[in-house]
Homo-oligomer: A and B are copies of this chain.
Amino acid sequence: MEKNFYQPLSANVAPKFGAPTTFMRLPQREDASGLDACFYGLPMDWGTSARSGTRLGPRQVRAESTQIRPYNMGTGAGPFSSLSIADIGDAPLNPYNLLKSVEAIEEFVTKKIIDFNCIPLAIGGDHTVLLPILRAVAKKSGPVCLIHVDAHADTNDVMQGETIAHGTPVRRAFEECLIIPDHSIQIGLRGSGYSAEDFDWGKQKGIRVVEAEKCWHKSLTPLMSEVRQLVGNRPTYLSFDIDALDPAYAPGTGTLEVGGLNPIQALEIIRGCQGINLVGCDCVEVSPPYDPYGRTATLAANLLFEMLCVLPGANYKGSAV
């Protein structure tokens, strides 16, 4: 089968503020057949402990993504000429039932994406989605290295007695052997905790933890060299919770923690993943009601585009800054 190298609808054909509102105005496809990578939405917020609203995240991220042009001026990447990429819509979630939604995500990612050997790029949605995505990804790739950028460890055992929620997926993924803890890393953790040992669980399991304080006042480019060494050529999943950033940069999210990363560091993290064997990515926890003009969604859309630019096989036409 010959590959279709889909291009975002050009602003010269129709202004960027018009239709359609797929991710970057890429074609819409029913599933990932024939695609190398695909964007998909997970519109849910019923795994959230704090402010809700992430159910509208995919819609706003897609709307703001229409402003992004096809070439990455900072790295020279032009992914659309070497990868076949489209938007395959949203998983069919059940807003009244968290467990069924988690099952639906696993099935959607498996049957619509992974079964076609396509790399999934998720638009969240609350972070509960990480668990079913990893379940689907691991079916094909086996346990993966996890690069987890977040303000929170998401390693709670239970929340109000429940094992599935947006604060537990990393713990569950470990228990289900979906991740390789010794080659995984958490970046940006900070804030307040239910106990003084909240971040220690992961460390004890072998996960490297880089708290936000260790990122203050510095470039994260050196850290990413270490990360590339840590994961090697193992299959790796990149999960980016937008609340890893300081609320000044990402006000549209549910659980604000002060003293976070900045967008430059976010770009350094993702650009630093170039060369890693990425088998899946996400950007989650964008909550539009708290940022109606879409600054946070704009940031998330750009981070997703940057992830696309570092996928295995992405073309580089220009030269990096």
A→B interface (CB under 8 Å): 10-22, 28, 41, 43, 45-53, 55-56, 58-59, 62-63, 67-74, 76-78, 89-90, 92-98, 159-162, 164-165, 189-199, 211-214, 216-219, 246-249, 251, 255-256, 258-259, 262-264, 266-267, 289-290, 292-293, 295, 298-299, 302, 305, 317-318, 321
A-B pairs, 7 with minimum CB distance:
A196-B318, A289-B289, A292-B292, A196-B317, A69-B192, A213-B321, A18-B90
Q: Is the CB of B18 within 8 A of A21?
A: no
Contact partners of A12 in chain B: CB under 8 A:
159-161
B219 near A13 with CB under 8 A, answer: no
- 30 CB contacts below 8 A, A to B, read A11-B160, A15-B55, A18-B55, A18-B59, A19-B41, A46-B46, A49-B95, A50-B67, A51-B55, A51-B289, A52-B55, A69-B191, A70-B192, A73-B198, A74-B211, A76-B196, A94-B161, A96-B159, A96-B164, A191-B302, A196-B317, A217-B218, A217-B219, A247-B249, A248-B248, A248-B249, A251-B293, A256-B295, A258-B298, A259-B264
In the bound complex, CA of A243 to CA of B68 (Å): 15
Given contacts A58-B18, A160-B94, contact A69 B194 (CB under 8 A): yes
CB pair B295 A293 closer than 8 Å: no
Given the contacts A58-B18, A73-B198, A192-B305, A46 and B249 also touching, CB distance less than 8 Å: no
Query: How far is A197 from B10 in the complex, measured between Cα atoms in Å?
Result: 17
**Given A19-B90, A69-B192, 4 extra CB contacts under 8 A:** A14-B92, A74-B259, A196-B318, A213-B321
Interface pair A71/B264, CB less than 8 Å apart: no
Is the pair A199, B96 in contact by a Cβ cutoff of 8 Å? no
Specify which chain B residues have a CB less than 8 angstroms from the CB of A293 in the assembled complex.
251, 289-290, 292
CB distance from A197 to the nearest CB of B (A): 6
Q: Determine whether the beta carbon of B160 is less than 8 Å from that of A58.
A: no
Residues of B within 8 A of A21 (CB): 21, 59, 62-63
CB-based contact A97/B98 at 8 Å: yes
CA distance A16 to B90 in the complex (A): 11
CA distance A321 to B213 in the complex (A): 7
Residue of B nearest to A152 (CB): B73
A310 → chain B closest CB, angstroms:
15
